[in-house]
Amino acid sequence: MDARELRDLAVDIAKEAGALARRRRSEGVAIAATKSALADIVTEADREVELLIRARLGDARPDDGFLGEESGAERGASGLTWVVDPIDGTVNYAYGIPHYAVSIAVVEGEPEPQTWDAVAAAVFAPTEDELFTAYRGGGAWLGDARLAVGEPGDAGALIATGFGYDPATHAGDLERVAQIMPLARDIRRAGAASLDLAYVAAGRLDGYVERGLQPWDHAAGALLVREAGGVVTGMPGQQPDRPMTIAASPSLHAALQERVVLLAENGSA
Ligand code: IPD
Ligand code: CA
């Protein structure tokens, strides 16, 4: 399969998975367990949706590896790994806020964000019925519309962020918000990292900064941003990863990264 065909497979599975998540949500959601922190929850639907995705990928691509939020990692023999968040925005999902997504990416190389090369991605928000897709060299798309990152206007940038589940990191996250606020017209915290990145790709957000993301939070969204002409990195010289994710147009990205680095150099966040 070439990159486009891998994208098509990701799309088919994301749509089926999104429909299942939506159906389960309408039936009512129960929290199954807490994970890294009390606020870090998993519902039965997260698990069921991931199992569906894993089964479909296992049928279609038995030699590929898998790295999912809920069911763990398995190495493959093909050099490709599927990086999956079955429901990104689980807290929104559990509270009945419609902003959540299925995020599926396929990456080449070691299943490790510093070195992998993303090949194709689909981020599907079932309640909003929005499908964001990309494949390497093929552009980023919302349905049939090609995406391009935006540039902030005179009023400043609309910047999204998020706060990890670990309460010990919240003070630092808030310091970072204060540090980037001079560049912002306003801040958004919508609750699903894959969609924050998709919205940067779509020009609905000018930029996005968050510490603490897991590989499945950013794998698909980062390819969307790059294919839409944007830049997505971690700290200088790094790919997006747990320590930092910064996404924006090239000029805003540089300004955001400078502020994030300044804060880090001053011994804060
Ligand atoms: C979370 C969301 C949230 C981000 C967290 C993620 P989950 O993913 O993407 O926006 O702030 O860092 O863990 O737990 O809903 O899949
Ligand atoms: Ca997630």
Report the amino acid identity of residue 210: E
C-beta of 162 in contact with ligand 1 (< 6 A): yes
The angle at the Cα of 210, spanning 3 to 154, to the nearest 5 degrees, equals 95
C-beta of 213 in contact with ligand 1 (< 6 A): yes
Q: Give residue 96's region: left, alpha or beta (phi > 0; psi -120 to 50).
A: left
Ligand 1 atom having least distance to the Cα of 88: 16
What is the rounded average pLDDT of the residues 86-108? 97
Entry pTM: 0.97
Query: How many CB atoms lie under 10 A from the CB of residue 72?
Result: 10
Nearest ligand to the C-alpha atom of residue 210: 1
Tell me the per-residue pLDDT of 198-234, one tens digit each, with 9 for 90 and over.
Answer: 999 999 999 999 999 999 999 999 999 999 999 999 9
Q: How far is the CA of 195 from the centre of ligand 2 (A)?
A: 10
Nearest ligand to the C-alpha atom of residue 199: 1
| Helix, strand, coil tally for the chain in percent (to 5) | 40, 30, 35
C-beta of 85 in contact with ligand 1 (< 6 A): yes
Please name which of 85, 116, 106 lies closest in space to residue 196, comparing C-alpha atoms: 85
**Residue 42: per-residue pLDDT:** 81
C-beta of 88 in contact with ligand 1 (< 6 A): yes
Report the amino acid identity of residue 66: F
Q: How far is the CA of 155 from the centre of ligand 2 (A)?
A: 31
Residues sharing a CB contact under 8 Å with residue 38, sequence separation 6 or more, in sequence order? none
Question: In the predicted model, is pLDDT for residue 53 greater than 90?
Answer: yes
**Residue 43: per-residue pLDDT:** 87
Cα dihedral 207→210→214→220 (10° resolution): 0
Report the amino acid identity of residue 110: E
The angle at the Cα of 229, spanning 228 to 230, to the nearest 5 degrees, equals 95
C-beta of 192 in contact with ligand 1 (< 6 A): yes
Mutate to test the pocket of ligand 1, among 88, 93, 177, 205 (most ligand atoms within 8 A of CB): 88
Q: How far apart are CA 133 and CA 161, in angstroms?
A: 22
**Which residue has its alpha carbon closest to ligand 1 atom 5?**
164
Name residue 33's beta-bridge partners: 42
Tell me the per-residue pLDDT of 149-208, one tens digit each, with 9 for 90 and over.
Answer: 999 999 999 999 999 999 999 999 999 999 999 999 999 999 999 999 999 999 999 999
Mutate to test the pocket of ligand 1, among 90, 205, 209 (most ligand atoms within 8 A of CB): 90
Please name which of 91, 84, 85 lies closest in space to residue 43, comparing C-alpha atoms: 91
Q: How far apart are CA 187 and CA 245, in angstroms?
A: 16
Question: In the predicted model, is pLDDT for residue 258 greater than 90?
Answer: yes
Please name which of 155, 176, 268, 164 lies closest in space to residue 217, comparing C-alpha atoms: 164
C-beta of 221 in contact with ligand 1 (< 6 A): no
**Which residue has its alpha carbon closest to ligand 1 atom 15?**
89
Q: Are the C-beta atoms of residues 196 and 212 closer than 8 Å to each other?
A: no
